[in-house]
Structure formats: structure tokens, C-alpha cells
Chains A and B, each alone.
Chain A
Amino acid sequence: MSLHLSYRADPGNPWFSWQYVRDNSDTILAALREHTWLTARAVVIAALVALPLAVLAYWFRSLSAPILAVTGVLYTVPSLALFAFLAPYLGIGAITVLTVVALYALLVIVRNALAGLTQVPPEVREAAEGMGYGRWGRLLRIELPLALPGILTGVRLATVSTVALVTVGVVVGRGGLGQLIFAGFQNNFYKAQIMTGTVLCVLLALVLDLVLAGVGRLLTPWLRGRSAR
């Protein structure tokens, strides 16, 4: 089949080629693994930092405006500029990529988590207070579970955009699948390589999004019942 295709009309540069995928499966898998691993670490780190920040902003209202302002300004800073600021200090390598993408993910999660927390109805909060819940009990038993949909939305958005953003890491030589895309461009514009990298990137984003959506459904069974009714 591939033989048949290879001697047909366009000899050199098809948009997709099984031949390429077979011959380079090691490189492709390594790139995919690096991409997934970078994304996973970045999102986990971002979530671990973002949640306490969101809770702080929720508890101390005077903190929420500065936190939102700083995250807003940081979000406006282009990714390449962030790489430029951090690379001279963190060096050329995975740690720089990880820091940049985790920062962007952080911003997305903080905003959505805070939005989720502030959507907890005041009656619910007062009822919990009346039942004798303290600040921590209320947070862990009432407010965080109710804010879960917002938090999960943030994590999903952050994951999808992180997958796309990791490719910018080619600037420090650690772009995961971006490395594949960029090498394809430099290898005499080898379309099959560029396309394989791109398709895998989009698929990875899609798969991770679906997985997180599934996790979200498992974590919020009460929402499922409501939407079914």
C-alpha cells in the first residue's frame, strides 16, 4: 500500500504518510510523551498554587482585586516575552517551559476558581454558618464542593491551552510535539512531519479534555441528577 502510494504522482511531500509515522515512531512517541508529561506537571502545579490563591482572594476581599489585576496583566504578556524573561535565569531546558506554561495555567485556574467560589449562594453560606461550621469546615464541606464546576472548567481550559502553549517551548528546544512541527518546517518543509505533530497535539488536547470532563462528572454526581431531570 505504502509502496503503491510512494511511487505515485507526488513523490516527495505528502500531507500525511504512514511511512513517516512507522519509520519515526520512536521520535514521535518520545515527543508525545514529553508533551503529555510537561502538560500534566504544569497543570497539577498550577492547580496546587491556584486553589489556595483563589481561596485567599475569596476570604480576604481586599486581596481579590490585586490578585485579579496581577493575573490579568500577566495574561496579557505574550508567551514568547515570558520565555525571554525567564530563560536567562532558568536556562535552556524543560524547567523554563514548565514555568511559563504553569504560569499561564495558573491565571486561568485562579479566575475560574474564584468565579466558582463567589457563585456560592449567600443563603447557603449563612445556613452553613448557622449550623456551626467554622471557616475551614465551611470551605471544605460546602464552598469548595459547590465551586467544583467552576474549578473544573478552569482546569479544563488551562489544560487545553497548555497543550497548545507547550509548542512555543521550541524556543528553548523543549517544545514536545512542537519540536516535531518545527523540525518538519526546517527539514525542507516536510509536510508529513508537521501534520503528524499538529494532529497529535490537537488529539492530545481533546483526549485530556474528555478525560477531565469525565472526572468532573464523577466528582459532581449531584449535577448529573439535576440535568437529567
Chain B
Amino acid sequence: MNPVEQAVVWLNDPLNWTNPGGVLDRLGEHLSMSALAVLLGCLVAWPIGLWLGHSGRGGGLVLLVSNVTLAIPTLALLTILPLTFLGFGRPAVVVALAVFAVPPLLANAYTGVRQADPEARDAARGMGLSGGQVLRRVELPLAVPYLAAGFRTAAVQVVATAALASFVNGGGLGQIIRAGFGLDIAAGGGQIIAGGVLVAGLALLVEGLLAVVERVVTPRPLRRVRRRANRRATAATTGG
């Protein structure tokens, strides 16, 4: 029996789904820690990104954050954070994942506010709105498509990265793959591939769902702008 057939058999065994530590348990862990991490990332990155965009400073900082986090291995954060005051267990894993959610959230919040039409901003100021009001009533609504795009990127990234939490026994679907590797390739090959299918499937599903969400939360007038922007981007990539 080749590994793919083994994987099909593994996935078709109901006990592999319902056992303690089975697929359903792991899926729950995976989703809950990803959700917490994205939430934490939003709470940190959005206010900072919106404020930096509003004040027009800190573009360099945004770039620095994304460059530095690109170079830090996930494995390093996952192993270092439990040894700090966070302690072992869920909080350390969630914080480690949140670190990787920050760059896309921050960069998109920043760009979203920056790209707001300066004339709209001037008009709002002329109407007597204060700085905070301009941010809340003009720049923030105009930035929504960007916030949604950043949210989608961050969420997909976190769901993908959460598979690595299994290295430090942090739970999640990655645990199934790790357990398969623990069994040795010949015996665990099917389980390894089955785990891979689950992890990859979840990431693609989240990506697809959030693409729909992104479309829905974009206000209709902006949707046209976005579509035009997309079309322009496609035209550019196809050289038309």
C-alpha cells in the first residue's frame, strides 16, 4: 500500500477523528490558538498602524518590523517565549504566532490610511473635524479594504504557522504530522500525509473564506475602485 492509500485509510477511520487528541480535538486547538493570535495581533498592530498612517510618520518602522520578523525563525520564537515570564503552554504559543500576524496587519493599516485621498482629508479638516475625527470618520472607512486584506494575509499566515506549534507540543493539527514522523516513515507515512492534507486544506479554506469576507466588508463604491485596481494590477502583470 503506498503512502497516499495509507493516508486515505487513515482519514477514513472515524476513531482517528473522534479519539482524544484526534483530528477534531486538534482542529479545535488549531483554530482557537490561531484566532487568539490574530486577535492579539489586531489589538496591537491596528491602533499603531492607523496612528502612524494618520500622523504620516514611521513608514521606516513599518518596513523594519516586517523585515526583521521575516528573518526570525518561527521555531526560535516558539522555543524562546515559553522560557520567559510567559511560561509554558498556550499563552507563549499565542504570542509567538501573534508576532507573525503583526507585519501584514501593521503594513496594511498604515498604507490604508496613507492612501486616503488627501482632498477628502483636507475637506474634512475644513469642515472643522479634529485630527481624531478625521481618522475615525474619513480615513478609517477608506482604509477598510486594506484592513481586510491585511487581516486575510495575517490570518492565513497564522493558521499556517500554527502547525509548527507541534514542535513544542503546543497542540494543533501539526501534532498529527509530528506523531506520524515519530512512528517512522514506513508506518507513519499515511498519517503524515493525512496530517499534511488537513493542515494545507485548513489554510486554503481560511484563505478562501476570508477572500469572500474581504469582498463583503468592502463598501460598494470602494469595491469598484478595488476591482479597477485589481484589473489594473492584472493588466500590469499580463503586460496588456
Q: Which residues of A contact B236 (CB under 8 A)?
A: 118-119
Q: In the complex, what distance in Å separates the CA atom of A77 from the CA atom of B205?
A: 11
Secondary structure of the A side of the interface? helix
With a cutoff of 8 Å between Cβ atoms, the chain B residues found around residue A89 in the complex are 3
Taking CB as reference atom, which chain A residue is nearest B201? A81
Give complex CA distance A118, B70 in Å. Answer: 26
The answer, yes or no, to whether B207 is at the interface (CB within 8 Å) is yes
**Given A164-B73, A201-B73, A91 and B185 contact (CB-CB distance below 8 Å):** yes
Main secondary structure on B side of the interface with A: helix
A2-10, A16-24, A58-66, A215-223 - the one binding chain B: A58-66
Q: What are the interface flags for B124-160 relative to A under an 8 Å C-beta threshold, 1 for contact and 0 otherwise?
A: 0000000000000000000000000000000010011
Among B67, B80, B168, B193, the residue within 8 A (CB) of A85 is: B193
Residues of B within 8 A of A195 (CB): 80
In the bound complex, residues from chain A placing their C-beta under 8 Å from that of B226 are none
Residue in A closest to B239 when the chains form the complex, CB atoms? A118
Contacts of B70 in A (CB 8 A): 157, 160-161, 164, 205
Report the nearest A residue to B80, measured CB to CB: A194
Residue of A61, A76, A81, A167 near B163 (CB, 8 A) is A81
Q: Is B215 an interface residue (CB 8 A)?
A: no
Chain A residues near B189 (CB-CB < 8 A): 88
Query: How far is it, in angstroms, between the C-alpha of A118 and the C-alpha of B240 when the chains are bound?
Result: 9
Interface residues of A in 145-174 (CB under 8 A from B): 157, 160-161, 163-165, 167-168, 170-172
Residue-by-residue, is A173-207 near B (CB-CB < 8 Å gives 1, otherwise 0)? 00101100110110001010011011001100110
What residue of chain B has the Cβ atom nearest to residue A122's Cβ?
Answer: B239
| A194, B79: Cβ atoms closer than 8 Å | yes
Contacts of B239 in A (CB 8 A): 58, 61, 64, 118
Picked from A81, A164, A171, the residue with its CB within 8 Å of the CB of B74 is A164
Q: Which of B57-65, B104-112, B114-122, B173-181 contacts A (4 or more CB under 8 A)?
A: B173-181
**B73, B166, B189, B200: most-surrounded residue (chain A CB, <10 A):** B73
- Cβ-closest chain B residue relative to A204: B71
Closest-by-CB residue of B relative to A177 is B73
- State in angstroms the CA–CA spacing of A147 and B89 once bound together: 47
Q: Please provide the chain B residues from 80 to 95 with a CB less than 8 Å away from any CB of chain A in the complex.
A: 80, 82-83
B36, CB-defined interface residue at 8 Å? no
- Chain A nearest CB, measured from B53 CB (Å): 23
User: Taking the complex as formed, is A139 at the interface, i.e. its CB lies under 8 A from any CB of chain B?
Assistant: no
Write out the residue numbers on chain A whose beta carbons fall within 8 Å of the beta carbon of B217: none
Check A185 against B168 for contact (C-beta < 8 Å): yes
Any A CB within 8 A of the CB of B39:
no
Give 17 new A-B contacts, CB below 8 A, not counting A79-B164, A164-B74: A58-B239, A64-B237, A77-B204, A78-B200, A80-B196, A81-B196, A84-B195, A118-B238, A160-B71, A164-B70, A167-B74, A171-B167, A177-B73, A181-B79, A182-B79, A194-B83, A198-B80
Pull 25 A–B residue pairs with CB atoms less than 8 Å apart, ordered by A. Answer: A64-B238, A77-B203, A78-B160, A79-B163, A79-B164, A80-B163, A80-B166, A80-B199, A81-B163, A81-B196, A84-B192, A85-B193, A88-B3, A88-B185, A88-B193, A118-B238, A160-B71, A163-B73, A164-B73, A167-B73, A168-B73, A171-B167, A171-B177, A178-B75, A201-B76
Q: Which 9 A-B residue pairs are closest in the complex by CB-CB distance?
A: A84-B196, A78-B160, A88-B189, A198-B76, A205-B71, A88-B3, A81-B200, A167-B73, A81-B196
